[in-house]
């Protein structure tokens, strides 16, 4: 049995920042093979992660990300433990390290974690033998969301290089933006961040020098190939930065009037959950240009690819 | 580099005539009512399956569908490997239900690839029957698996490798026996 061997040079997926363009391309190419598994008319399960134990460790609420990971794990035939933070000893005062050490004693192979603290995943990675997958950490990174966004865009346009992408809304509080900025700029896309000055920190240009920042959505719409709308996260404090929801919608909502200014074949993305009528209107969210449910569908093969590439022990590794 | 004594390696001309013979032997084995599909095991089984389909069309006039099977995710050693091998898409854009599936590969050796291929294809549907066609059938089986049709059968000690070269992948056709 001979086959071409690619060794993904990372033990963990803590973020997009540590990934090279080659790593990103490998992940997206691999997801293509898993998409075939997900689209089979018959059995959508492969034995790739048989005998591997995956722990889903969610310290923050999540519906679609957690479900998507769980479907991906099941389609790879992994054993799954769902660790529910609400019912755990965390409420009894256990520290994250103690929780990790207790999990480690069960010898998991992979841990998929969402946590509100940006350093939590790196901390866990230092204390555990298992591979850690970041399923969202505060406003820092959400790497699998950026990978599925990229997968969706690449599937539509055939490439990421040179693509013009506007990311619109609450840039300040979004982990989706940070992961997408690392990924899109590294793959040669031309990103414009759009939002009110209070929600688009100018200092982001220091980290990603190639990006544009605009506070005038109408002005930048016509040149975009893709418009990625972000959720106005009032639960994360978006409201403190803007005068009101009506004002926000007036300048930054994607609605039919603004769609008229866009390219005919522009695609509309949204990581969900959608605030219908706030950052996007229903006729646009459900309209012919939207790929919002494609993003959800693509999340499963992308996460299968991540779990698969991290599931085998390697020689040389970088975090 | 061919090992001495090289047991009947094949040159491009011999490979072409062997494929002709395999196509004819396959046709002779099929009942008229059987609906045949060819599944090439990636990577070298696929071009072989495509060439067979052309030969079958020339002799019978029938267009036999060709699919590609990637067996990586079904390997029995997958979870013990160092690093994860690249998985390429399986492409079977037709039903396998009640079809006669001809699995095509370059070399049959331990039988583990074919075991994985059987698991993989059964996840796509329940065929009427499955046949195995290989270019080279070499000694060293580790599972009770055999080829229905083989271009060449050779006794080769474990330290040597039977390599099938195809112009689609390797730039030239031929079979060689090499030291590992």
Domain limits of chain A? 21-142+298-310, 143-296
Instruction: Say what the pLDDT of residue A245 is.
Output: 87
Output A319 or A189, whichever has higher pLDDT. A189
Least confident of A54-63, A69-78, A139-148, B31-40: A54-63
Instruction: Say what the pLDDT of residue B2 is.
Output: 41
Residue of chain B whose Cα is closest to the Cα of A48 = B73
Q: pLDDT class for A2, splitting at 50, 70, 90?
A: very low
| Nearest-angstrom CA–CA distance, A32 and A27 | 9
Average pLDDT rounded to a whole number, residues B127-144: 97
> What single-letter DSSP state applies at residue A90?
G
Distance of CA B60 to the CA centre of its chain: 21
Q: Which CATH number fits domain B12-27+34-75+88-179: 3.40.50.1390, 3.40.50.2020, 3.30.230.10, 3.40.50.920?
A: 3.40.50.2020
Q: pLDDT class for A6, splitting at 50, 70, 90?
A: low
Instruction: Say what the pLDDT of residue A78 is.
Output: 97
8 A C-beta contact, residue A137 and residue A131: no
Contact B79 A49 (CB under 8 A): yes
Instruction: Say what the pLDDT of residue A140 is.
Output: 92
B89 interaction partners in chain A (CB closer than 8 Å): 32-33, 35-36
CA distances (Å), origin A310, targets A317, A319, B26: 11, 11, 43
- What CATH class has A21-142+298-310? alpha beta
Average pLDDT rounded to a whole number, residues B144-157: 95
**Mean of per-residue pLDDT scores for chain B:** 93
Residue B97 near chain A (CB below 8 Å): no
| Nearest-angstrom CA–CA distance, B122 and A203 | 55
Residue A50 near chain B (CB below 8 Å): yes
The residues of A carrying an active-site annotation are 64-65, 92, 114, 142
| Nearest-angstrom CA–CA distance, A204 and A122 | 22
Instruction: Say what the pLDDT of residue A96 is.
Output: 84
Contact A36 B86 (CB under 8 A): no
Residue B91 near chain A (CB below 8 Å): yes
Residue A313, pLDDT above cutoff 90: no
Domain segments of chain B as ranges: 12-27+34-75+88-179
Which of B41, B72, B73, B109 to substitute to test the interface with A, most A CBs within 10 Å? B73
Burial code of B163-173, b = ≥16 C-beta within 10 A, e = fewer? bbbbeeeeeeb
Residue B180 near chain A (CB below 8 Å): no
Per-residue pLDDT tens over the stretch A242-261: 888 888 999 999 999 999 99
Nearest to B73 among A29, A46, A51 (CB): A46
> What single-letter DSSP state applies at residue B3?
P
Q: Do domains A21-142+298-310 and A143-296 have the same CATH topology?
A: yes
Residue A127, pLDDT above cutoff 90: no
CB-side neighbour CA atoms (13 Å) of B156: 29
What are B101's strand-pairing partners?
B37, B130
Instruction: Say what the pLDDT of residue A138 is.
Output: 87
Instruction: Say what the pLDDT of residue A197 is.
Output: 94
Contact B85 A32 (CB under 8 A): no
Instruction: Say what the pLDDT of residue A4 is.
Output: 54
ipTM summary value = 0.87
Residue B93 near chain A (CB below 8 Å): no
Nearest to B75 among A1, A35, A52 (CB): A1
| Nearest-angstrom CA–CA distance, B120 and B76 | 12
Question: What is the architecture, at CATH level 2, of domain A143-296?
Answer: 3-Layer(aba) Sandwich (3.40)
Q: Does the reported pTM lie above 0.90?
A: yes
Q: pLDDT class for A119, splitting at 50, 70, 90?
A: confident
- Greatest Cα pair distance, chain A, in angstroms, is 64
B82 interaction partners in chain A (CB closer than 8 Å): 7, 312-315
Average pLDDT rounded to a whole number, residues A100-116: 91
Per-residue pLDDT tens over the stretch B6-19: 555 899 999 999 99
B112 interaction partners in chain A (CB closer than 8 Å): 1
Average pLDDT rounded to a whole number, residues B22-43: 96
């Amino acid at each position: 049995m001979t086959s071409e061997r690619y060794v993904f040079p990372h033990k963990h997926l803590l973020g997009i920042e540590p990934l090279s363009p080659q790593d990103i391309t490998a992940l997206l190419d691999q997801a293509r093979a898993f998409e075939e598994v997900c689209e089979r008319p018959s059995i959508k399960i492969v034995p790739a992660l048989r005998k591997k134990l995956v722990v889903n460790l969610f310290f923050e609420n999540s519906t679609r990300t957690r479900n998507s990971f769980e479907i991906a794990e099941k389609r790879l035939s992994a054993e799954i433990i769902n660790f529910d933070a609400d019912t755990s000893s965390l409420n009894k005062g256990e520290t994250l390290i103690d929780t990790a050490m207790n999990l480690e004693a069960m010898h998991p192979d992979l841990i998929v974690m969402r946590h509100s603290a940006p350093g939590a995943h790196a901390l866990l990675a230092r204390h555990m033998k298992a591979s850690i997958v970041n399923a969202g950490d505060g406003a820092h990174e959400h790497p699998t969301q950026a990978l599925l966004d990229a997968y969706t865009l690449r599937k539509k346009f055939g490439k990421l290089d040179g693509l013009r992408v506007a990311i619109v809304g609450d840039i300040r509080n979004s982990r989706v933006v940070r992961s997408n900025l690392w990924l899109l700029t590294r793959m040669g896309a031309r990103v414009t961040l759009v939002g009110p000055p209070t929600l688009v920190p100018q200092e982001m240009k220091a980290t990603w020098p190639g990006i544009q920042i605009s506070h005038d959505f109408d002005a930048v719409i016509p040149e975009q190939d893709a418009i990625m709308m972000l959720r106005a996260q009032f639960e994360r404090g978006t409201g403190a930065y803007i005068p009101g929801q009506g004002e926000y919608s007036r300048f930054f909502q994607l609605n039919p009037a603004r769609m008229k200014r866009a390219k005919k074949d522009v695609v509309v993305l949204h990581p969900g959950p959608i605030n219908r009528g706030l950052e996007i209107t229903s006729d646009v969210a459900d309209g012919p240009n939207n790929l919002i449910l494609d993003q959800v569908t693509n999340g499963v093969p992308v996460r299968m690819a991540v779990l698969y590439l991290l599931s085998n022990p390697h020689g040389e590794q970088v975090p | 580099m061919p090992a001495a004594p090289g047991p009947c390696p094949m040159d491009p001309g011999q490979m072409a005539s062997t494929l002709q013979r395999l196509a004819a032997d396959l046709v002779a084995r099929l009942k008229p009512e059987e609906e045949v599909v060819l599944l090439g095991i990636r990577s070298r089984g696929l071009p072989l399956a495509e060439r067979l389909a052309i030969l079958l069309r020339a002799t019978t006039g029938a267009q036999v569908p060709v699919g590609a099977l990637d067996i990586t995710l079904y390997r029995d050693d997958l979870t013990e490997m160092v690093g994860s091998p690249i998985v390429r898409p399986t492409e079977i854009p037709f039903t396998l239900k009640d079809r006669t599936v001809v699995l095509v590969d370059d070399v049959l050796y331990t039988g583990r690839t074919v075991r994985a291929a059987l698991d993989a294809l059964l996840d796509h549907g329940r065929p009427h029957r499955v046949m195995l066609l290989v270019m080279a059938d070499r000694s060293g089986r580790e599972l009770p698996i055999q080829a229905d049709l083989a271009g060449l059968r050779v006794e080769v000690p474990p330290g040597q490798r039977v390599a099938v070269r195809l112009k689609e992948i390797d730039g030239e056709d031929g079979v060689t026996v090499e030291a590992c």
